[in-house]
Amino acid sequence: MTILRSIQCEEGDSMSGGGSRAVRLLLVLVLGAGCGMPRDPEGTLERVRGGTLRAGVVERPPFTRVGQGPPSGVEARLVEELASSLGATVEWTVGTEARLMEALTHRKLDLVIGGIPADTPYGAQVALSRPYLSARLTVGAPPGKTVPRELKGHPVAVEPGHSAIALLEEAGAVPEPTPQVHAASGLRAGFDWQLEAWGYTAGEATLKNEEVLVVVAPGENGWLRQVDLFLHENASKTRERLVQSARGEAR
Amino acid sequence: MRTAEPFDLPPEKMKPLGRAKRWEWISLAYLVSAVAGIYFTLGNSQAMKAAWLEDLLSLIPPLAFLIGGRVCRRRPNGEFPYGYHRATTIAYLVGSLALLMMGLYLFADSVMKLVQGDHPTIGSVALFGHVVWLGWPMLLALLWSGVPVVLLGRLKLPLAEQLHDKVLYADAMMNKADWMTAGAAFLGVVGIGLGFWWADAVAAGIISLDIFHDGQKHLRAALGDLMDRAPRTLDYKHPVELPERIRHTVESLDWVESAQVRVREDGHVFFADVELVPRPGTENLVQRLTHATRDLKRLDWRLHEVLLVPVERSPRPA
């Protein structure tokens, strides 16, 4: 430890002289500065407060919907609410996930939404918020019926191109891609919040778990914490809105 | 095949050995808890990674002491006539190489992160319904890994000296210095918290240099031991006086004209070869040699075997 020792002012014994002084200094540092921790290296939170929140949007109904006018959907509304809680206005950018994530990496955006799962391949380059939603992908049965214990050979309606198709095949079920899943009769595959919206009973077997979160510019820890706190406070409300949104689509 | 006598610690050394073993077990348990604590709060802080690695590597000396200690007390046999004393040295060599490599890798990694301007992200965790910045548990884990360890080091140091055990000594010294590693990582995390993104990589760089430095120091010591370098003190700073004392003792015998001594160290024990020129007309040479051998062994409790070889004329001094 000679390298670190040379940084010390005295060649003293560890905890007695330099050590306890260092500990005291650390305590003063942490307690004095700790109140404002964590802060942003690039000052995102300060800039957003009373200014502009630059949000990127990847389309994934019902989390985000893109059309004429500003983006809508459950998460878009959430970002609007976050911005107004900080007295900021939202500046939307719609694009592909790859492009938006790159912009986020260079801190040209402050956050990106679009029902982004926790296992996003971009996770290493950007900062991930805490998941505000844990969803279970499973098979549901119509009201009054139950999902068979063994899925083998049972036809299951599923959205075309959904990741559930491969998982259903693994479980031995017969996936039937249906454009209007919410109108299909019999068993349907979906996330638990969708099944809830349709009044379906979710089965025991989990095809996969998905955690949904918001991605934030990397290293802006103060801003990330602000987003985390907001998501945490609004998590149950957001899930409720998702269910309502899915119910509205089904009508 | 002549095998060395089995080496047994003198009775007065058994107590410190038992205490040393107990403290090393306690060290292991504590270090595992510190490693786990840091692992669960790693986040993507480079400084935390470095501190974690250092803690992980500090498991090596206690393991080397406990396992090596077991192996090196095995009885010498036909296959290993000198016994198993070097087991600890080999454990040490392997451990120090690991330190060296890890230190280098981590240093390069930290420099890369600085050059690329990576801004480390430390998010939040949910604890008891509160969203807590992960930096706080990190700092707690670092305190746990940096404070008790120093006390352990101080307890082990006198035992290392009593047992003259290099592994235990190195371990105690590493423990005593470990608060600085934790302190550097602590400053790195606090730095991130204050918005200095570079503090993290700088702290990690300092820690990795230190790991590297420890590694090369121990590697040199282990290589020296394996190369039969003249025995040195625990801290490798001074040669031991034993060879000189043996020569002095042999030459003070009235039937000896001159003597040359060579001592090598095997783990805890010394093997000495002495070439002596008897005075002309010495009688009962074999008996005298036997007595002298027995007496010489009392010079030092670690002096395990003494070979006295009578020669015609004095060999060239080393």
Indicate the residue type of B89: T
Using the Cβ of B204 and the Cβ atoms of chain A, whether some distance falls under 8 Å is answered with no
Question: A4, B177: Cβ pair inside 8 Å?
Answer: yes
User: Among the listed ranges A1-15, B101-115, B118-132, which one has the minimum average pLDDT value?
Assistant: A1-15
Selected residue of A37, A129, A214 to mutate for chain B interface (largest B Cβ count, 10 A): A37
Q: Which residues of B touch A225 (CB under 8 A)?
A: 123-124, 131, 133
In our burial notation (b when 16+ CB lie closer than 10 A, e otherwise), range A19-44 reads beebbeebeeebeeebeebbbbbbeb
- Closest CB from B153, B179, B190 relative to A30: B190
Which residue does chain B place closest to A107, by CA atoms? B119
Dist. CA A92–CA A66, nearest whole Å? 11
Residue A108's contacts (CB-CB under 8 Å, 6 or more residues apart) are A54
Q: At B52, which helix (H) or strand (E)?
A: helix B46-57
* pLDDT given for residue A2 in this prediction: 43
pLDDT more than 90, % of chain A: 80
The dihedral sign for the CA sequence B178, B179, B180, B186: positive
State the smallest CA–CA distance between residue B261 and chain A in angstroms: 36
pLDDT more than 70, % of chain A: 87
- Closest CB from B119, B125, B186 relative to A41: B119
Dist. CA B5–CA B269, nearest whole Å? 12
B19 pLDDT above the threshold of 50: yes
* pLDDT given for residue B86 in this prediction: 87
Question: B186, A26: Cβ pair inside 8 Å?
Answer: yes
* pLDDT given for residue A11 in this prediction: 34
Q: What is the mean pLDDT of residues A127-131?
A: 96
Using the Cβ of A219 and the Cβ atoms of chain B, whether some distance falls under 8 Å is answered with yes
| pLDDT tens per residue across span A22-47 | 667 666 666 655 668 899 999 999 99
pLDDT band at B57 (very low <50, low <70, confident <90, very high): confident
Mean pLDDT of chain A, nearest integer: 89
Residue A109, token pair as written in the block: 């955006």
pLDDT band at B317 (very low <50, low <70, confident <90, very high): low
For B148-287, strand residue ranges (E) read 256-266, 269-278
- Closest CB from A1, A5, A221 relative to B121: A221
Question: A130, B139: Cβ pair inside 8 Å?
Answer: no
Using the Cβ of A9 and the Cβ atoms of chain B, whether some distance falls under 8 Å is answered with no
Q: What is the mean pLDDT of residues B75-97?
A: 87
Q: What is the mean pLDDT of residues B233-237?
A: 86
* pLDDT given for residue B299 in this prediction: 93
| pLDDT tens per residue across span B141-198 | 999 999 999 999 999 999 999 988 888 998 998 898 888 899 999 999 999 999 999 9
Which residue does chain B place closest to A220, by CA atoms? B121
Selected residue of B149, B179, B181, B208 to mutate for chain A interface (largest A Cβ count, 10 A): B179
pLDDT band at A18 (very low <50, low <70, confident <90, very high): low
Dist. CA A7–CA B290, nearest whole Å? 56
Q: Which residues of A touch B178 (CB under 8 A)?
A: 1
Using the Cβ of A192 and the Cβ atoms of chain B, whether some distance falls under 8 Å is answered with no
Q: Which residues of B touch A219 (CB under 8 A)?
A: 118-121, 197
- Closest CB from A15, A39, A229 relative to B193: A39
A9 pLDDT above the threshold of 60: no
Angle, CA of A85, A86 and A89, to the nearest 5°: 95
Residue B83: closest CA among B91, B94, B92, B74: B74
Residue B84, token pair as written in the block: 């198993």
A94 or A4, higher pLDDT: A94
A10 pLDDT above the threshold of 90: no
- Closest CB from A33, A39, A130 relative to B124: A130
State the smallest CA–CA distance between residue A89 and chain B in angstroms: 24
pLDDT band at A219 (very low <50, low <70, confident <90, very high): very high
pLDDT more than 90, % of chain B: 63
- Please, is B66 exposed, middle or buried when counting C-beta atoms within 10 Å of its C-beta (0-12, 13-18, 19+)? middle
Q: At A53, which helix (H) or strand (E)?
A: strand A52-57
Q: Which residues of B touch A211 (CB under 8 A)?
A: none
* pLDDT given for residue B298 in this prediction: 92
Question: A129, B139: Cβ pair inside 8 Å?
Answer: no
pLDDT band at B61 (very low <50, low <70, confident <90, very high): confident
Which residue does chain A place closest to B45, by CA atoms? A219
Mean pLDDT of chain B, nearest integer: 90
* pLDDT given for residue A55 in this prediction: 98
Q: Which residues of A touch B200 (CB under 8 A)?
A: none
Question: A232, B177: Cβ pair inside 8 Å?
Answer: no
- Closest CB from A4, A220, A224 relative to B184: A4
Using the Cβ of B183 and the Cβ atoms of chain A, whether some distance falls under 8 Å is answered with yes
State the smallest CA–CA distance between residue B283 and chain A in angstroms: 58
pLDDT band at A63 (very low <50, low <70, confident <90, very high): very high
Instruction: Tell me which residue has tokens 């693994």.
Output: A170
* pLDDT given for residue A22 in this prediction: 67
A5 pLDDT above the threshold of 80: no
Give yes or no for a contact between B166 and B234, defined as CB atoms under 8 angstroms apart. Answer: yes
Using the Cβ of B192 and the Cβ atoms of chain A, whether some distance falls under 8 Å is answered with yes
State the smallest CA–CA distance between residue A182 and chain B in angstroms: 35
pLDDT band at B309 (very low <50, low <70, confident <90, very high): very high
- Closest CB from B131, B197, B210 relative to A228: B131
Enumerate residues 115 to 154 of chain A having a beta carbon within 8 A of any beta carbon in chain B.
127-130
B97 pLDDT above the threshold of 60: yes
Q: DSSP per residue over A188-250, as a string?
A: EEEEHHHHHHHTPEEEEEEEEEEEEEEEE-TT-HHHHHHHHHHHHHHHHHHHHHHHHHHHHHH
* pLDDT given for residue A34 in this prediction: 61
Give yes or no for a contact between B215 and B97, defined as CB atoms under 8 angstroms apart. Answer: yes
Q: What is the mean pLDDT of residues A155-173?
A: 94
Please tell me the total number of residues recorded for chain B in this structure.
318
